[in-house]
Amino acid sequence: MKSKISVTLDEALLREIDALVDGIRIRNRSQAIEFLVRKGLAERKTAVILAGGEAKRLRTSGTYKFLLPYKNKPAIEHAVLSLRKNGFKEIIVIGRKAVLSEIFKVIGNGNGYGVEIKYIEEGEERPVTKQDTARTLKHAMGVIRKPFLCMYCDVLFDFPLSDAWNFHVKGESVATLLVKANPQPEKWGNVRMEGNVVKEFIEKPGKSENYLIYTGMFIASPELLSQPGNSLEYEIFPRLARKGMLTGYLISGFCEHVDKLE
């Protein structure tokens, strides 16, 4: 919901604001001001790493996926380094106590990486859906009050996020999924788009001729945290797509899930 306000600004500043109006993404002065305010608030950008659910679901090859080595560093350390490289100085990690303990052993409070890392412990709730990602994320309700990036703890990435971030901040969708082409789309969240609008989201469809998949990374507004449902993939994303409130941003850089030692 938006509210109408009255502000007084210097004429020279107004001319600079009006110069941002391109008639496409920013259609008027109000949108230009909103964009600049959001951008200013996002200077200390926040990222959320989801490591929730039962610990056994996060393990492979006898260890946690986020501890698997990549270029001689644990995957979770690579995630923090990539986030810091992209200007995310506040990182929130959500998971159960045993999992958070293992992550803390590697990255601590973030001082060694130039970031601030906060940990939110989730309870030992009995899963009620196939994938309780939204229930894990909702532990950050009240902590997050501005746009944020969210990624799963088993994701490795190395590409600039600024264009995707600005795309979401300029837009009006609740969430923007980072998507890419994959030769095995049936194994992942399948995304059907028209332009940048996600028309349909199906988690692991079993068979698909649409090769765009959800990478396990997205940018969202705080409004996402109040959406009903326990699963992002099976409930919230499909519903937002049906309502036209979900967008997608196609990436070409490195972004992969860690699920095997090799």
pLDDT digits (tens, 9 = 90+) for 184-226: 877 888 899 999 999 999 998 888 788 899 999 999 999 999 9
Enumerate residues 6+ apart whose C-beta is below 8 A from 255. Answer: 155, 156, 157, 158, 159, 178, 180, 215, 216, 217
Q: Is the pLDDT of residue 41 over 60?
A: no
174: confidence class by pLDDT, cuts 50, 70, 90: very high
What percent of the chain has pLDDT above 90?
Answer: 61
Among residues 87, 63, 189, the alpha carbon closest in space to that of 133 is found at 189
DSSP letter, residue 246: E
The most confident of 117-126, 185-194, 248-257, by mean pLDDT: 248-257
Query: Where residue 40 falls among pLDDT bands split at 50, 70, 90?
Result: low
Name the more confident of 201 and 130.
201
Residue 188 has a pLDDT of 82
Predicted local distance difference test score (pLDDT) of residue 194: 95
Average pLDDT, the chain: 89
- For residues 229 and 261, the model is more confident at 229
Sign of CA dihedral 124, 127, 132, 138: negative
* Nearest-angstrom CA–CA distance, 164 and 8: 31
Instruction: Report whether pLDDT(39) > 80.
Output: no
Q: What is the pLDDT of residue 84?
A: 95
Q: Residue 128: is its pLDDT beyond 60?
A: no
At the topology level of CATH, where does 42-257 sit?
Spore Coat Polysaccharide Biosynthesis Protein SpsA; Chain A (3.90.550)
pLDDT in tens, 82-107: 999 999 999 999 999 999 999 999 99
- Is the pLDDT score of 129 beyond 60? no
For the ranges 5-19, 103-117, 179-193, the one whose mean pLDDT is highest: 103-117
199 vs 260: which has the higher pLDDT? 199
Give how far Cα 8 sits from Cα of 11, 23, 29, 180, Å.
9, 23, 13, 44
Mean local confidence (pLDDT), 223-246: 96
Q: Give span(s): CATH 3.90.550.10, the chain.
A: 42-257
Q: What is the pTM of this model?
A: 0.82
Residue 61 confidence class, pLDDT cut points 50, 70, 90: confident
